[in-house]
Amino acid sequence: MPREIDRRSARTRKALHQALLELMLRKGYEALSVQDIIDEADVGRSTFYAHYTSKEDLLRSGFHMLREELTEAQSASHARAEASRDDPLRFSAAMFEHAARYADHFRTMIGGRGGAVAENEIRLILSDMVRQELSSTLQDGTIPRDFVVQFVVGAFLTALNWWFERKPKLSPSEVDAMFRSLVLGGLAQMITKERRQAARPAAGRDND
């Protein structure tokens, strides 16, 4: 019995995944048909359906593999990083770096091209990571854990998207700094407290 998967299978699947990625980058996920995929991958129709039930299934399987890699890598880094227990956003820096390295992939998945499925999968993966981090650093309060987790994940995706769409020239650490500043400190730090009783925010005084 083939304990490992047949090489033919593996090759086909790899071709399909690659074709999907390429086409998503070119046309976007939603506008994509199975026909396009098998055409790009040079694979027969029935071959596709022998491996996956739909294009959504194909995409999901890709994320499934990615998820295993990431959780593995994270558990490893989790083991050796005991020092900064009071930082609930340990993941962000590494993730921004990762995103910069695989910019095409992330761009494809997160922007409008990614479709609802991709974004959802990403949310799930990130939610797990964030939940794990928050469990050790956050105290129980009036705000449910779930809510905080979703908040952090949403902010991260927002940051990533803004980065790619608006200021792709920024370095990962710069974006990370903004992200951390907003998520950790909130908006309060940016409000002009001195003007609360003043008449009008007329003269914008720059103080770096």
Partner DNA sequence: TATGATAATGGACAGCTTGTTCGGGATTTT
Partner DNA sequence: AAAATCCCGAACAAGCTGTCCATTATCATA
Q: Provide the binding-site residues for its own copies, judged by CB under 8 A.
A: 30, 85-86, 88-89, 112, 115-116, 120, 136-144, 146-148, 150-155, 157-159, 161-162, 166-167, 178, 181-188, 190-193, 195-196, 198-199, 201-204, 206
12 binds DNA (CB under 7 A): yes
Q: How many residues does the chain have?
A: 208
Smallest gap from Cβ 152 to DNA, in A, equals 35
Number of neighbouring beta carbons within 10 Å of residue 145: 14
55 binds DNA (CB under 7 A): yes
SS3 35: helix
Give the whole-angstrom CA distance, residue 167 versus residue 161. 10
Binding partner of 76, given DNA, its own copies, none, CB within 5-8 angstroms per partner class = none
Binding partner of 44, given its own copies, DNA, none, CB within 5-8 angstroms per partner class = DNA
- For 166, half-sphere exposure in the C-beta direction (CA atoms, 13 angstrom radius) is 7
Give which of 66, 71, 37, 68 is closest to 52, Cα–Cα: 37
Give the whole-angstrom CA distance, residue 149 versus residue 141. 13
Binding partner of 146, given its own copies, DNA, none, CB within 5-8 angstroms per partner class = its own copies
The residue with tokens 């990615």 is 66
Give the whole-angstrom CA distance, residue 46 versus residue 159. 41
Interacting residue with DNA among 40, 49, 89, 206 (CB under 7 A): 49
Smallest gap from Cβ 9 to its own copies, in A, equals 30
Give the whole-angstrom CA distance, residue 181 versus residue 158. 14
Smallest gap from Cβ 178 to its own copies, in A, equals 5
Interacting residue with DNA among 19, 20, 24, 43 (CB under 7 A): 43
Residues at the site binding DNA, with contacts judged by CB under 7 A: 1-2, 4-9, 11-12, 33-36, 42-47, 49-51, 53-55
